[in-house]
Every structure is written in C-alpha cells, then in structure tokens.
Chains A and B, each alone.
Chain A
Amino acid sequence: MSAGQDGERIGVYVCHCGSNIAGKVDVAAVRDWAAERLGSHGVVLARDNKFMCSSTGQELIEQDIRELGLTRVVVAACSPHMHEKTFRAACARAGLNPYLCELVSIREQVSWVHSDQAAATAKAKAVVAGGVYRVAEHAPLEPIRVAINPTTLVVGGGIAGITTALELADAGFPVHLVEREPSIGGHMAQFDKTFPTLDCAACILTPKMNEVGTHPNITLHTWSEVTNVSGYVGSFQVTIRHRARYVNADLCTGCGICQEKCVERVVDEAYEAGLGYRKGIYMPFPQAIPKVPVLDREHCVYFEKGTCKACEKFCPTGAIDFTQEDDEVTVEVGNIVVATGFRLFDPRRVEPYGYGRLPNVFTSLEFERMSNAAGPTGGRIVLRDGVTEPRAVGIVHCVGSRDRNYNEYCSAICCMQSLKFAHLVREHTDADVYEFYIDIRAPGKAFDEFYQRVLEEGTVFVRGRVAEVTDALRFPDEAEHDGRLIVQVEDTLAGVQRRVPVDMVVLSAALEPPKDAYDVARRFGLSCSSEGWVIERHPKLDPVATMTEGIFAAGCALGPRDIPSSVANGAAASARILGRIYQGEMLLEPVRATVDEARCSGCKVCNDLCPYNAITFRADAGVSAVSPALCQGCGTCIAACPAGAMTGTGFSDDQVMAQIEGLLSASLAAPPAPVEVPTPEAVPA
C-alpha cells in the first residue's frame, strides 16, 4: 500500500494562514520536510504561502498542475469543512479531477489547539504525511447529479415559515406549509405590539396570513404534523398526518356559530398562554387561517358522554363531521425548511420567583395576551383577580436565561420585550414600573433609542438578578404592603439589597426549543446543539443551511431571535432554495458505497445495516447491490462486509489505511531535531 509507486506527482502546499498557522507551526520546516522525506511517496514539490485560499494561493496550485504536471495535490491548511471546495475547484480549473486533491487540517486540529511549537510542527508533519499517503490512493470521481423537485416543504407556520412560504410561492413554485396548531401565525399572532416601533403585530401579520391562506401555490396543512421523511435532496418523500378536525373544511364557512353554541369552556394553554378560555370547538383567534375551527375531542361533551352535538345542530352548512379520522398524505418535495420556532421556558422551575404559587406573577406571554386589545382582559392590565389595576409592576429579566442552572444563553429578545412591557404598563395604567435587569442588550436598529425613551418615561431600572419574589413581609415597616409582592434584589449599582414592593411581577422568560426538538431533528436528520437548537452549517457564513443537504432552517428553530431576524432567515432560506430550483439539478459528493460483485458472497449482512434501504439483494445474481441515489455514504456496510466486497468512494479501505500509515509513518521518528518533550496544555475541567 506504499504510495508513489504509480509514478504519481504530488504537490504539497502548506498554508501560513497569516499567523494563524505560522504562529504555532514552523511552516518552512514542514514544507522542507515534506519535500525531502516524502519524495519516496511521490511528492515532487512542496511550497508554502501566506494564504493558500487567496487567489494567489489558488493560482499557484493551478500553475503547478499545468506546468509541472502534478497528478495529486495535498493542501495543509484549515479544516476541510472550511475550504475543501475551494481547493478542489482550483484543481478542477487546472484540469485535474477535483477529488485528487486532499485538504488536511493543521489549523483547527493543530495550531489552534497546541501551544508548543515543536510538538505542533511534529504533528503537522504527521498530518501532511497522512494526506500524502492517502491522496496517492485517490481515484478521479464525478459528482452525482440529482434533479431538484421544485416543490418545497415548510415546517412551521410562524412568521419565519410564512415568509419562506410566500417568497417561494410568489416566485411561482409550489409549497406545502405544515403547522401543528389549528391556525398559522405562531407566537407573533399572540403579541399586541412589536418592539421598538410599537406597530400592531396583528396589523402586519394578518395580511401575510391571508396571503398564505389564499395563495394558489401554497397547500396549507394545519392541525398537522410531519411524521416521516425519506429520500434525499431534490426528492424527499414526506408523510404529513392531518389530525381530525371533525369539521369538513370544504363545507365550513368559518361563521363561528359552532363556537358560540359549544357548552364546553377550556383554559386556552396555547394561544391565550393559559390566561384565557376557549370553547371545545374553536378557532384560536378571529383572524385565524384557515378559517376552519377544530373540535378538541379531549374537551367535547359528545366524545365524553355521547350526547350534545350542539355544534352539529346549529351548523348552517352541515360541516360538523364526528366520524372524521386522522389521515396521512405523502408529498414529494425537493427541499425542506424547518421553522419550528420556540417554546417559552416554564418559570415554575425558578421556584423562588413563585410563578404558579403567587397569583400575581405572570409570564411574558401572559402579559402579551393581557396587553392585547383582543386578549382575555380586553387590553386592561390587571391583577389575577381580573379587576384591580396594579400600582407598581416589576419586570424581571433573564428568567431561565443567562443562568447556568437553566440556560446559559441569552434569549436575545427579552430586554427589548421587557422595555416594551414597561412602556405598555405606563401607557395603560398609572403604575410605577421597575425593570430588574443584568445588562440591557439593545443592539438592533432603533433599539437603544427605545431604551432611552423608556428611561425618560420614568421607568425605574434596578441592575441585579432578582433573588426572590415573595408575599412574605419581613420587617415591621413593611406592614403597609401586606397582600402585595416584594421583589428582593441586590442593586449592584448602589451596592445594597432592595426589597421593592409591587403588585404585579412579569417574568421575561427564556426562549427554549420546542419540547420535541430532538424528535424533529431526528426525523429530518439534523444536528442539534445540546440545548436543542438546530445547528447551522456555518454560524456566520451559512446561517440558514443545515448539515443535511436540502434541509434549511429559519427563525427561532436556530436559536432565540426577534421578528426581523426570523423574517430575514425565512427569506434567506427561500433564496437558497430558489437558486437550486432554477438550476434544476444539483451536484452531490460522490461518497457512495459500491459492491464488487465478484467478491460478494451474498451473505446479506449489509442489507439490514442500511437505514436508507439503499442495499437490496439481487436474487438472480446472488449478490447485494447499492442504489447510489439512496446511499448516503456513511460506510457502515463497508466496515461490516466480511468479504471485503463493499468499497466506498472517497473513503475506501485503501485510502483510510494509507492515511493511518502516513500519520504513524516511521519516517517521523527520524531526526531533524531532538524534539523537546511537549507539555500538553492544561485543559480546563
């Protein structure tokens, strides 16, 4: 398996990456060592360059291929996830098959993590040797072409999903929009005002929802969930389960009489955030899209007791259908956008804040509903008794965020939302408002101006994390506050403990991933952070693509963000998809398993290992066969084949073995210099 015997001409290029690599790795030493020591493995030249990914660096490679007839290229630079495509493209421009180029990482895996120069240089040499040995085993490959189905699936009907769906549909391509709740609109539909402009959320959202509802290119699946996804970019098969509405959508006119007549009253935990009621048959809110109610069979007198059917009796069009059952449809789509949003942190978990125990402690979503003119209190800001106006309101920031007991991240929207609350309280009542904050984070357009405005309105800002919200008085002079709430907080600017009496406390709770975020991620084959947010392909440069080809994410599914960012995400995802649809086809990495039929004994060990059913047994020939369209290239079957009949393009046994040999090659042991014994850095526990 020794390399170079086929007369390959390998060029090695070592990148300085400015000082990113050169600061820790002796680049010249690596270059010289590769030229001298790896000559027997086919290396005919080794060069270094300040930035290999620059146009100069790339041209260098192209020139050497053309003029010196290189047949293989090894670039030692950053992670292949960063620039593999760049260098492959450079090779391709010079007429070399791009898969004959290997990028090995001496930045993320060497210079950025090892502090000892001698040790880092020695490791860089090993990594280069691994690449040289490996590349000799490479074979020219052609990317796989797949056709792109122009239909797109959008999962989640909040503002991010709505934006994506409309952008795609307006461009003329069909969209399936799936929403779990009875109506699209998401969290934005619950809000009254949006920060910092204070425009009415419903006024800007409702037209978009209507557009979705009537758009000829959009098929709406509400009260529905995606239950299965198979296939690959360009042609996914998606199963959508429609939960029974018990209402025939074709007959229903959305008149609302059924809702009026229904005798069952239930606390609305979804749209009203638990602050209001709905009926057993209901549309969550008047502007709901589609304008078709759902019948909640858990809270239906007929389903419980077998009698009632008031809705059916009064329905003027006979749309109520108690015999409806869940059904499933399968749709074919080319791309998928996951816009599954967030769930509010349950502040009951922060026991000292008393949510759920002290009646006048509210969540931010409850307050949104309360301040909404269409909400349960008609926009009046009142205590839990529904009558009393508060004299003082405390707003607690970072509840469940920036707290290592719950979530370490910042939920991004709470500061601005809390400022908005302060403004709304002062607008609707005469109450004093206290903001208990750690820092005010107001980095968006016109955000800080809004903060100044709220300051000037006379809101009191107390910097400090609230220790406790209690109804227990502690000092004799607190007697006048009997029956109110006391917010205990350390005022870190004044350096004193404060006990602030208020009547109402609003907890700006963290945004968390939906409860089933991991299930969703699994269903779509996405990676999640440890919290449950979808991981983007690159946090800066590819913020809406995921690690899975053909699946994008937008909005709070990626992490907490505000409405403008969610809209930008949705639009960005649709732009990415439109590009693909216009191309009509896509090139995929040719990393696939293949079967050498001559060696296959037909044992079928591989058949059951494939999660994509890409391997079938051909009874006629007595061998297994791989479908390249279904194969995703994981290579599990290759590792399992007892006959060695399976092989994988791009990751063949020979290639991996050669790389192992290179990484451990004996030539590394020989001097140049007696390496000082490296001291591994202390790793923080």
Chain B
Amino acid sequence: MSDQTRAAAADGSRFEPVILGFTCNWCSYRAADLAGTARIGYPPNIRLVRLMCSGRLDPTFVLAAFARGADGVVVSGCWPGECHYQVQNLRMLGRFLLLRRTIARLGIEPARLQLVWASAAEGQRFAREIARITEEVRALGPLGWSAATDGAAGDLAGVLEAAAGAEAADGAAPALPAEPVDGADPASPAEPVEVAR
C-alpha cells in the first residue's frame, strides 16, 4: 500500500495510515464482531489478523507488518485474568513490552505499536481504541519502512538481524537510556500499560 496514501499526503490531503491489528479469536476478534453487529463505526485504516490467542503473537509478525508497509500495529487480547487460555495474554504482554523497546531502537516510534485489551462484550471499547490509535498513528505520519526494505526485495533478514542486535544490546545494558533515533523520542517514558479494568 501506501504509495497512494503517501501521494495523498504529499498533495496536502490527509495522510491515511495503514494499521494491522492482531486479535485473539475469543475476546478481541469477537469485540470487533460485536462492533460490527452493533454498527459502531471506526476508521477503515485497520486490517485484522485473527490468531487463536494473543499469546500466539510472534514478534516477527509485528516486524513483518512494519516491513511490509504498515504504519502502525495493534495487538489486542483478552483482559488480564480473562484469557481463554488462562494466562497466555500475559506472556504476550511481556513480549509486547520488550518489542516496544526494540522498535524504538530500530527508529520506530513506540506509539506505532499499541496494545488494546478488549473482552468479547466490548465492541464499543474496541471501536473507540481503534479510532484513537488511528489518529495517533496518523499524527506520526508515514513510517515508510516498506520503501526502506524494498531494496532487500522484501527480505526481512536484515531487519530482523538489526532487531535481534538491538534486543541483545537491550539485554546487555538495560539501565541505559536508548539513544535517540530519528524521530523517536526514547526519553519519554513508555505509556503505562493497563493491566486491570
């Protein structure tokens, strides 16, 4: 995607980000279903991938999404304590928090990767959060990573290697603040993540 919307951005009209959402089968995908059934509108920028559980989220899925042109990624699962598979959403939470630090090292604003807890009954919340995130990513502008990785013919290896390097560095010196990398503001603390309703 994105050439088109980027062109649109260039000629002064509003930038339309593409956002990929990973939802679990039991809560958040059903929240999206419920938003549909209840006709609760939200911006069309999001495209959903259904996983069985948010715990299935492989960090490479997120990096692949950025590399293939997504301007933002939403990960959505059941509320802590309500996971269909008991606690697997908390395993995802651990990965998510690490991944946010990692992408900051790669020069991606952490706000491009967001987490939404949504129970199957929270269609309204799901829609509201997607609308919020769409506006936040819109404000950040295009990511343009697909262009950057096009040279490697869409091959992720380079990106993933860089990511792995950053993660290792993270592990080695966790106390050090991340170096500012273009546009990202690692000095600002990551937003707190809700863990309870």
Contacts and interface: CB of A to CB of B under 8 A. Distances in A.
Contacts of B39: 112-113
A113 B42 contact: yes
A154 to B, nearest CB: 23
A451 B32 CA distance: 41
Nearest to A639: B58
Contact of B56 (A109, A110, A114, A634): A634
Contacts of B69: 664, 666
Interface string A247-279: 000000000000000000000000000000000
Interface in A439-481: none
Given A664-B68, A669-B1, A611 B86 contact: yes
Interface stretch (A145-153, A168-176, A653-661): A653-661
B88 A683 contact: no
B43 interface: yes
A130 B131 contact: no
Interface stretch (B103-111, B117-125, B181-189): B117-125
Interface in A516-533: 518, 521-522, 525, 527-530
Interface stretch (A61-69, A209-217, A674-682): A674-682
Contacts of B127: 113, 683
B27 interface: yes
B116 interface: no
B20 A660 contact: yes
Contact of B85 (A116, A126, A634, A680): A634
Interface of B: 1-4, 8, 13-14, 16, 18, 20, 26-27, 29-30, 32-33, 35-37, 39-45, 47-53, 55-61, 64-65, 68-70, 78, 81-82, 84-88, 91-92, 95, 119-122, 124, 127-128, 131, 134, 146, 197
Contacts of B41: 113-115, 680-683
Contacts of B119: 527-530
Contact of B44 (A116, A530, A547): A116
B13 A677 contact: yes
Contacts of B124: 684
B2 A669 contact: yes
Interface of A: 79-81, 105, 107-110, 112-116, 119-120, 122-123, 126-127, 130, 518, 521-522, 525, 527-530, 535, 547-548, 591, 609, 611, 632-636, 638-640, 648, 650-651, 653, 656-657, 659-661, 663-666, 668-669, 674-675, 677-678, 680-685
Contacts of B42: 113-114, 680-681, 683
A653 B87 CA distance: 22
Contacts of A633: 52
Contacts of B78: 527
A680 B42 CA distance: 6
Nearest to B121: A529
A120 B36 CA distance: 13
B85 A683 contact: no
Contact of A639 (B3, B26, B95): B95
A79 B8 CA distance: 32
24 contacts: A79-B33, A112-B36, A113-B40, A114-B43, A518-B82, A527-B82, A527-B84, A530-B197, A547-B84, A611-B86, A634-B53, A635-B56, A650-B52, A651-B51, A657-B60, A659-B49, A660-B68, A664-B18, A664-B69, A669-B3, A674-B4, A680-B43, A683-B42, A684-B40
A123 B44 contact: yes
B13 A660 contact: no
B131 A668 contact: no
Contacts of B8: 677
A633 B26 CA distance: 12
B55 A635 contact: yes
Given A113-B36, A525-B86, A660-B65, A651 B20 contact: no
B55 A525 contact: no
Contacts of A684: 40, 124, 128
Contacts of A661: 64, 68
A685 B49 contact: no
A678 B42 CA distance: 12
Contacts of B64: 657, 660-661
Contact of A656 (B13, B51, B85): B51
B58 A638 contact: yes
B44 A680 contact: yes
A664 B88 contact: no
Nearest to B125: A530
Given A609-B91, A636-B56, A683 B40 contact: yes
B131 A680 contact: yes
